[in-house]
Amino acid sequence: MRFVLILLFFLPDMALGQTLVATRLIRAAEVIGVGDVILQDGTIVGAATTADQVIGLETRVAIYPGRPVRLSELGPAAVVERNDVVQIVYRRGPLTILTEGRALARGAIGDQVSVMNLSSRQSVQGTVLYDGVVEVSAQRMSLR
């Protein structure tokens, strides 16, 4: 045990790990790009250790320059913004119904969002698909 402590004492420049830190102010709801993060010596629990873990993800909070990029502060990028006009799709067997709606919340792929049907003014819940389409499930949907 003494040998390990002495070794660490004489080798203070030896990095035990690396952590990703922000190079600039990354505002909440911004997608992280390649130049937004760099590796810095030191290990911080819960922080990302490679750029591949965070590139393309969206921040949930502001991350200040020099601060670690914590994985808990990131999520998938939103493909639907609040007030966007989106396509609503309802599928049941061979039947497919398409109409337009207004997103009442922002959401990423797989998120549940409320959408107001522009024809009937009725709000429905649906799942955001990869292309920004919102798919509603077996519930009442008025298309008028």
Q: For the segment 27-63, what is each residue's pLDDT rounded down to a tens digit?
A: 999 999 999 999 999 999 999 999 999 999 999 999 9
- CB proximity list for 124: less than 8 A, separation 6 or greater: 88, 101, 114, 115, 116, 117, 136, 139, 141
pLDDT at 5 over 50: no
pLDDT score for 1? 52
Range 106-130 average pLDDT: 95
Per-residue pLDDT at 7 exceeds 50 = no
pLDDT digits 0-9 by tens, 75-107: 999 999 999 999 999 999 999 999 999 999 999
pLDDT for 66 equals 95
Kind and range of the H or E run holding 95: strand 95-103
- The two tokens of residue 66 are 């020099």
What pLDDT shows up at residue 16? Answer: 72
Domains and CATH numbers, the chain: 2-75 (3.90.1210.10), 78-136 (2.30.30.760)
**What is the model's pLDDT at position 139?**
58
- Residues whose CB is less than 8 angstroms from the CB of residue 85 and which lie 6 or more positions away in sequence, other chains included: 100, 101, 102, 103, 118
Confidence of residue 137 (pLDDT cuts 50, 70, 90): confident
Strand 58-59 relative to strand 74-75, pairing: antiparallel
Question: Residue 144 is which amino acid?
Answer: R
Say if residue 69's pLDDT is above 70.
yes
Q: What does pTM read for this prediction?
A: 0.69
- Of the candidates 98, 105, 83, which has an alpha carbon nearest to the alpha carbon of residue 135? 98
